């Protein structure tokens, strides 16, 4: 039977070796002990640290560790149980012989004596278990033997077991038990819900292990005021080291209350957020404490003896602790950070970036609330590096996380308010006018164009021509010179307008064909995040359409059938513009907005859609049938990238954006063919022709 195992030469090793070992080989290795020169009596007189050094002859974890690091959360799997029996009685060997029905290897530890047995038991598992499964399996197994025999902290998945070592005059014993590997599923199935920690067996020395699990829901660092600040400044271990000399560490997460009689009774949970003391004489005994309360009870708990009924914030110990803790530099620092609140969570920086800034201050060294100071701060603050100006939207945008919660890329009115609050909390109160001006200056310095950036980031064109036959391949258009030309010119116009907004291009390509073949889907795939289908003919009669253009690159006018003369005139005027001149919703004056987009039209009309022959020149009709192998929804991101990469190549080569020669004549024919046919005209003509 092969077991996964991790080994290291010292308990303090930072790198553990993952390997495998045969069960029989492991038992054989445990048969030999390392004899140390001291006597047992001498060993027992040593300090805990000295004892740890003596018995540290290397050790193992019966499982594999991620990246060879032995710490909480690093256990990849466990292949065997390895548990400490620290509270054995002289008849514990008999108990083991009676209760063990599976394979096991038991050996004595450095402190072992026949009168006070100290044992380690290793039990191979029928299958590997996860770190989460290990604890209930180990506790379930221990309950079969007797929970009170076992060390209460021995069930940790990352816990190491020392190789055997024995004082020079000590007794060493190793006993193997024959049988099959322990079936972990048989133990897990014995629980109603093995993930419910409240159902796990526990010793009579230990309060329910669910206490630490339940405490996860109330992180003391999230508490407001002095309690939260103290718990952020100090973990349990740090608070003990700094303020409670009555505790002596015996391991990373266990302490002995030295005035008491028991050992290792204080257990640290959740990486130092909580502690529970099992020492009956401990001022903090028999209650779950965060770092603040642990120190409070030890330093000022006596004050509560005569305060009948006073608890919580009204207890004398709480008031004294609050006053005392507020003078600690580490706590004061946390209180200052808490004053900024959630604004301080973006980069985690300490404010050192301000040291080198050229800021104007008054005689007292306080920051002057001037526009140049604010521009300097907004420009340098790493928490505000995401503020920029989007040239496609023609507005301030956000490219990175800001110190307040926000759902969108675009800048909103509430962002102005959040910025004002952030600046006032961190620096000083500035005038609203200065905030707006500084924001505009800094954002403009960081302007970007998302479509331009996208086109620059495209992979090199692979040389396969896709642009000319795009409508042929994906919508079943006729493969002729006209279809190829209008497709190529519209895509090149899109590229050119992104690169040089306002370039003259006053034509719209209209896809005419049956419903459901993917006309709009194709356009949307080409436009990606910058596709817009919200335009309507009614929008073209005022500035609504112009405002809807902002932020988008590819627009679709849907269902163009039955255009009235007024609609055609309005649309023709709209398409012919190179600039839109209006005052935007957040602008203080009228400004020009050069066109950065192109337009597609779509219609399901089978009998034409144009009604005004005079306005047809702005339209490039293309009939599509959907009779093709590939479909618009088959277009992959790679296909789209190659289409635009080819269009960039064609545009760079100087592709003209207007039709000439024979293709222009074909366009007139197609425009004529797209004029809407009224069946009543034929009926009237037929009637008039009758003799």
pLDDT band at 152 (very low <50, low <70, confident <90, very high): confident
- Tell me: pLDDT of 525 over 50: yes
Tell me: pLDDT of 357 over 90: no
Residue 372, SS3 per DSSP: helix
Q: Give me the numbers of helices (H) and strands (E) for the chain, helices first please.
A: 24, 26
The predicted-structure confidence for 418-451, as pLDDT tens digits, reads as follows 999 999 988 889 999 999 999 999 999 999 999 9
Q: Tell me how far apart the alpha carbons of residues 156 and 556 are, in angstroms, rounded to a whole number.
A: 62
Cβ(641)–Cβ(458) under 8 Å? yes
**Rounded average pLDDT over 279-291:** 76
Give pLDDT, residue 270: 84
Residue 345 has pLDDT above 50, yes or no: no
Residue 276 has pLDDT above 70, yes or no: yes
- pLDDT value for 340: 39
Please calculate the CA angle 13-14-16 and round it to the nearest 5 degrees. Answer: 80
Question: Mean pLDDT, to the nearest integer, of 279-299?
Answer: 83
Q: Residue 571: how many CB atoms within 10 A of its CB?
A: 24
Most confident by average pLDDT, 199-208, 329-338, 497-506: 497-506
Q: What is the pLDDT of residue 342?
A: 41
Can you tell me the distance from the alpha carbon of 148 to that of 679, in angstroms, rounded to the nearest whole number?
A: 97
**If you average pLDDT over residues 380-388, what whole number do you get?**
93
654: its two tokens: 């100087």
Q: Give 387: exposed, middle or buried? Use CB within 10 Å, 0-12, 13-18, 19+.
A: buried
What stretches of 35-125 show up as alpha helix (H) in DSSP?
40-45, 48-55, 92-99
Q: How far is CA 392 from CA 170, 501, 508, 583, in A?
A: 81, 10, 20, 16
Least confident of 298-312, 386-400, 417-431, 597-611: 298-312
**Contact partners, residue 437, CB within 8 Å, separation at least 6:** 371
Q: How far apart are CA 133 and CA 189, in angstroms?
A: 11
pLDDT the model gives residue 281: 62
In sequence order, the 6+-apart residues with CB closer than 8 A to the CB of 141 are 81, 83, 123, 182, 187
CA distance 538 to 566: 10
pLDDT category, 65, cuts 50, 70, 90?
very high
Summary mean pLDDT of the chain: 87
pLDDT in tens, 110-132: 999 999 999 999 999 999 999 87
User: Average pLDDT for residues 586-605, to the nearest whole number?
Assistant: 87
Q: What architecture (CATH level 2) is domain 470-673?
A: 3-Layer(aba) Sandwich (3.40)
pLDDT in tens, 553-586: 999 998 786 667 777 888 888 999 999 988 765 5
- Which helix (H) or strand (E) is 126 found in, with range? strand 119-129
Joined together, the tokens standing for residue 301 give 């708990």
Q: For 129-147, give one letter per residue: b (16+ CB within 10 A) or e.
A: bebebbbbbbbbbbbebbb
Q: Residue 260 pLDDT > 80, yes or no?
A: no
Residues of the chain with CATH 3.40.50: 470-673
The answer to whether residue 311 scores a pLDDT higher than 70 is: no
Percent of the chain with pLDDT strictly greater than 70: 86
* Residue bearing the bigger pLDDT, 685 or 415: 415
Nearest Cα neighbor of 631 from 510, 471, 512 is 471
Exposure letters 293-307 (e unless 16+ CB within 10 A, then b): bbbbbbbbbebbeee
More confident residue, 489 or 215: 489
Q: Phi and psi (nearest 5°) for 303?
A: -65, -20
Contact 651, 492 (CB under 8 A): yes
Tell me, what's the pLDDT at 131? 84
The predicted pLDDT at position 118 comes to 95
| Whether 3 contacts 26, CB under 8 Å | yes
pLDDT confidence of residue 197: 52
- Tokens 């194709």: give the residue: 522
pLDDT at 675: 86
User: Looking at the predicted structure, is the pLDDT value of residue 336 above 50?
Assistant: no
Q: What is the mean pLDDT of residues 408-416?
A: 85
According to the model, what pLDDT value does residue 175 have? 96
- Average pLDDT over every residue of 137-148: 93
- pLDDT score recorded for residue 259: 78
Average the pLDDT over each of 350-354, 620-624, 630-634 and give the range with the smallest value. Answer: 350-354
**Could you give the CA distance from residue 62 to residue 23 in angstroms, rounded to a whole number?**
11
- Least Cα distance to 565 among 608, 507, 612 occurs for 612
In terms of pLDDT, which residue wins out, 341 or 419? 419
Residue 519: predicted pLDDT: 96
Pick from 512, 613, 623, 498: nearest CA to 557: 512
Number of Cβ atoms within 10 Å of the Cβ of 409:
14
Query: What is the tens place of the pLDDT at every residue in 182-235?
Result: 999 999 999 887 765 557 788 877 655 545 544 555 789 888 778 888 999 999
Q: What is the pLDDT of residue 582?
A: 82
Rg for the chain (alpha carbons), in Å? 39
């Amino acid at each position: 039977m092969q077991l996964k195992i991790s080994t290291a030469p010292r308990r303090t090793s930072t790198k553990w070796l993952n390997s495998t070992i045969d069960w029989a080989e492991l038992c054989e290795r445990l048969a030999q002990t390392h004899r140390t020169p001291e006597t047992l009596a001498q060993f027992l007189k040593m300090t805990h640290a000295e004892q740890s050094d003596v018995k540290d002859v290397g050790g193992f974890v019966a499982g594999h560790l991620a990246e060879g690091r032995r710490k909480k959360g690093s256990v990849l799997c466990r292949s065997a149980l390895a548990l400490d029996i620290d509270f054995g009685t002289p008849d514990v060997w008999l108990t083991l012989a009676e209760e063990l029905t599976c394979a096991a290897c038991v050996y004595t530890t450095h402190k072992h004596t026949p009168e006070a047995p100290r044992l380690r038991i290793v039990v191979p598992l029928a299958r590997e278990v996860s770190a989460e499964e290990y604890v209930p399996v180990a506790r379930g197994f221990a309950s079969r033997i007797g929970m009170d025999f076992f060390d209460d902290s021995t069930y940790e998945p990352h816990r190491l077991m020392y190789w055997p070592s024995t004082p020079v005059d000590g007794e060493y014993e190793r006993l193997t038990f024959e049988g099959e590997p322990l079936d972990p599923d048989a133990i897990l199935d014995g629980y109603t819900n093995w993930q419910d920690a409240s159902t796990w067996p526990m010793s009579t020395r230990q309060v329910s292990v669910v206490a630490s699990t339940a405490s996860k829901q109330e992180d003391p660092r999230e508490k407001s005021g002095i309690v939260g600040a103290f718990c952020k400044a100090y973990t349990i271990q740090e608070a003990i080291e700094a303020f409670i000399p009555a505790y002596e560490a015996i391991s990373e997460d266990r302490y002995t209350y030295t005035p008491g009689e028991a050992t290792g009774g204080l257990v640290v949970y959740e990486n130092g957020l909580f502690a529970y003391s099992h020492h009956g004489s401990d001022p903090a005994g028999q209650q779950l404490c965060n770092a603040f309360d642990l120190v409070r009870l030890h330093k000022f708990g006596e004050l509560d003896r005569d305060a009948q009924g006073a608890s919580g914030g009204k207890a004398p110990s709480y008031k004294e602790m609050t006053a005392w803790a507020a003078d600690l530099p580490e706590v004061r620092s946390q209180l200052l950070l808490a004053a900024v609140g959630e604004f301080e969570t973006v980069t985690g920086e300490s404010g050192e970036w301000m040291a080198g800034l050229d800021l104007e201050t008054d005689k007292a060294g306080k920051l002057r609330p001037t526009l140049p100071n604010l521009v300097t701060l907004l420009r340098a603050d790493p928490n505000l590096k995401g503020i920029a100006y989007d040239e496609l939207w023609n507005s301030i945008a956000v490219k990175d996380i800001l110190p307040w919660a926000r759902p969108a890329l675009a800048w909103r009115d509430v962002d102005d308010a959040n910025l004002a609050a952030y600046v006032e909390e961190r620096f000083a109160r500035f005038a609203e006018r200065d905030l707006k001006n500084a924001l505009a200056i800094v954002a403009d310095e960081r302007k970007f164009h998302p479509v331009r950036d996208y086109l620059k980031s495209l992979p090199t064109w692979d040389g396969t021509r896709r642009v000319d036959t795009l409508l042929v391949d994906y919508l079943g258009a006729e493969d002729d010179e006209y279809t190829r030309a209008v497709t190529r010119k519209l895509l090149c116009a899109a590229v050119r307008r992104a690169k040089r907004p306002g370039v003259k291009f006053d034509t719209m390509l209209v896809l005419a064909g049956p419903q459901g073949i993917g006309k709009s889907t194709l356009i949307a795939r080409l436009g990606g995040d910058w596709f817009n289908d919200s335009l309507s003919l009614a929008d073209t009669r005022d500035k609504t359409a112009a405002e809807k253009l902002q932020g988008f690159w590819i627009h679709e006018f849907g269902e163009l059938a039955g255009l009235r003369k007024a609609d055609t005139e309005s649309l023709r005027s709209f398409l012919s513009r190179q600039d839109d001149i209006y005052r935007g919703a957040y602008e203080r004056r009228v400004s020009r907005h050069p066109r950065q987009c192109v337009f597609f039209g779509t219609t399901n009309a089978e009998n034409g859609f144009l009604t005004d022959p005079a306005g047809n020149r702005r339209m490039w009709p293309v009939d599509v049938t959907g009779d093709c192998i590939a479909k618009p929804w088959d277009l992959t991101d790679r296909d789209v990238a190659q289409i635009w990469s080819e269009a960039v190549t064609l545009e760079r080569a100087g592709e003209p954006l207007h039709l000439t020669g024979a293709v222009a004549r074909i366009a007139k024919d197609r425009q004529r063919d797209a004029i809407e046919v009224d069946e009543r005209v034929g009926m009237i003509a037929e009637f008039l022709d009758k003799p």
